[in-house]
Amino acid sequence: MTRQATMTSLTAALLSVCLCAGAQTSSKARIKAFAKLPDWSGLWEWDVFTGLADGQQLSREGQRKAAAYFAATTPTFNPAWQPKYDQVLKSLAAAVAADPNLPPSTHTPCEAPPFPATARPGIFEWLVMPEETTLVTSLGSVRHIYTDGRTHPPKEELWPTKMGDSVGRWEGDTLVVDTVATKPVLSQFVHGFFMISVPMSGQLHFVERIRIASHNEMQIQLTTDDPIALAKPMNVTLTYERITDINRISDEYDCDPATERNPVVNGRFETIVH
């Protein structure tokens, strides 16, 4: 073997040893990083939909909780933006009055929900990793919350998406998430049943503090701000429950608005609220 060939073989061997050592170090560090993360395993559901009544409508307890959330999240708009909100409510009232027995559907059945993707019918789970926490819903939404130290991209590189751009950091067992660049629309429950879409400005901004309150209860403190539209930020604590009843779990990827138990016909629900 020539001297050059020998040196090449030694270099390759040393490089292989270094790479293996690096991989082992990386694996050990990653195991330690995982060990520091909280356990958010299992399937979760917004408590508004817990104990869902027959017919896939809200139960009376669900209606009570939804009404409480509505009261806590009623936006305070500035004088220039208030007429936009009033028009949305006026349009909803007119649609209900047109046929009170068949309430209008204010969202598209089976559609993958937008940010935050947890305040809609459906089941979701968290995949918690050192570099990111991923939210996956049974209706097909996927949200990435990056916790690797990155910041939001420059404004010229951002554009509105259904999930926006989310970066987070861990404060003990609490995940603090900052989200920008969502679609300029705010989803809101009104009258304990209807979900309306309120137009907002391009400066809509969310901060979440997500933590496990007890073994089967998760809380998300959500602050919503829009300096162009809102007179003051909105603050609400949302509660989610871990699903422990196996009969509550269903595969909603097969959801078909034409064949659902409660199909929406001509934009209206065919069943009443229980």
The H or E element that residue 31 is part of is: helix 3-35
Predicted local distance difference test score (pLDDT) of residue 240: 94
What's the whole-model pTM score? 0.80
Q: What is the DSSP letter of 135?
A: E
Domain edges within the chain: 1-35, 44-269
Band the pLDDT of 148: cuts 50, 70, 90: very high
Predicted local distance difference test score (pLDDT) of residue 21: 44
φ/ψ bin of 51: left (φ > 0), alpha (ψ from -120 to 50), beta (otherwise): left
Q: Report helix, strand or coil for 112.
A: coil
Residue 56 has pLDDT above 60, yes or no: no
Q: What is the pLDDT of residues 184-199, one digit of tens each?
A: 998 887 765 677 889 9
Give the DSSP per-residue string, 179-247: EE-B-SEEEEEETTTEEEEEE--TT-EEEEEEEEEETTEEEEEEEEE-TTTBSS-EEEEEEEEE---GG
